Structure 1
Amino acid sequence: MRTALFLFLAALLPTQALAANQVALANDVFVERVSTDAQGKQRILLEEPKVVVPGDRLVFVLNYRNAGAQPADKFVITNPLPAAVSFADAGDTRPLVSIDGGRGWGQLDQLTVAMSDGTRRAAQPGDVTHIRWAFQKPIPAGGSGKLMFRGVVK
């Protein structure tokens, strides 16, 4: 049982995001929990995912830093979504998403999924397989930042 839990948690961690230009990436994942104090005030806590169950909200954090001596131009981070997780949101960053394993990209509200009867339906967050951020400006040498997205355990 302990091995199965470890393997499940390992599957939740995004694989190393693809990067170029000597930009170092570090990925973290947290479980988002709501705590209520004695006065009834709620706080959102981010905790290490020791145990996760279907319905748990996860927060994936991608830290990047340009370790090179030159600006990282046309920088792109592509992150596959773990199969055990349904995409929820990416805050206000509006990344491109793929619903076909990384072959095609677009904004979620612009993508459609082919149905078995030949019709198409609007893509849903659960259809997302990959997330991509394409930086519009070069990352200066030594520059760093953080991106995040949320998912829900299936």
Structure 2
Amino acid sequence: MRISWLMAGLAAAASCVAVAQDVLPITRSLFLERAEADGVSLEPADVLRRGDRVVLVMDWDGRTGQPFMLTSRVPNTLAYQRSGDRAVEVSVDGGRNWGRIGSLRRGERLAAPEEVTNLRWRIAAADGATMRSYSAIVR
């Protein structure tokens, strides 16, 4: 199954985050995760198939000097698995309610990672990192 529209959508969704009066351009990249004898490798994704494991990376150029919120919608064609940052907050209802995986509920039960619809990271002014990532499985 070819999912080129997913990749095109991710490339076109190069977002920007407003930081005070400035705009911080965010670059998004999509990588295919491959299991190898000596570990795992990541390679740029050009064709995706159901069941493929992918890593989405959002990065920006340098520190802003100000705190900001980085948010990302999880495409419907992906099932979220985990983030590269434990401080990620997630939503399972399109961004109306936020919390940690394991604390959000869907009715009477705890929400599963695959039900995550949105992610957000609070980036501190002194945070030296210039990227955040998450992994998912192609539905």
Under TM normalisation by the shorter chain, which class is it?
0.7 to 0.9
The unaligned stretches of length 5 or more in structure 2 are none
Identity among equivalent pairs (%): 28
TM-score by length of 1: 0.76
CA distance in 1, matches of 2:80, 2:52: 12
Q: Secondary structure at the match of 1:10?
A: helix
The Cα of 1:78 is off from its aligned counterpart by 0.5
Structure of larger gyration radius: 1
TM-score by length of 2: 0.84
Cα pair 1:32 1:58 within 8 Å, conserved: yes
Cα pair 2:81 2:137 within 8 Å, conserved: yes
The unaligned stretches of length 5 or more in structure 1 are 37-41, 115-119
Of 56, 67, 81, the residue aligned with 1:88 is 81
When the two structures are aligned, how many residues end up with a matched partner? 136
Matching of residue 138 in structure 1 with residue 131 in structure 2:
no
CA distance in 2, matches of 1:25, 1:48: 18
CA distance in 2, matches of 1:14, 1:96: 24
Residue 52 of structure 2: aligned partner: 56
Matching of residue 123 in structure 1 with residue 111 in structure 2:
yes
The Cα of 1:44 is off from its aligned counterpart by 1.4
CA distance in 2, matches of 1:88, 1:5: 19
The Cα RMSD (Å) is 2.5
Counterparts of residues 5-44 of structure 1 (less than 5 Å): 5-11=3-9, 15-17=13-15, 19-21=17-19, 22-36=23-37, 42-44=38-40
Q: Secondary structure at the match of 1:51?
A: coil
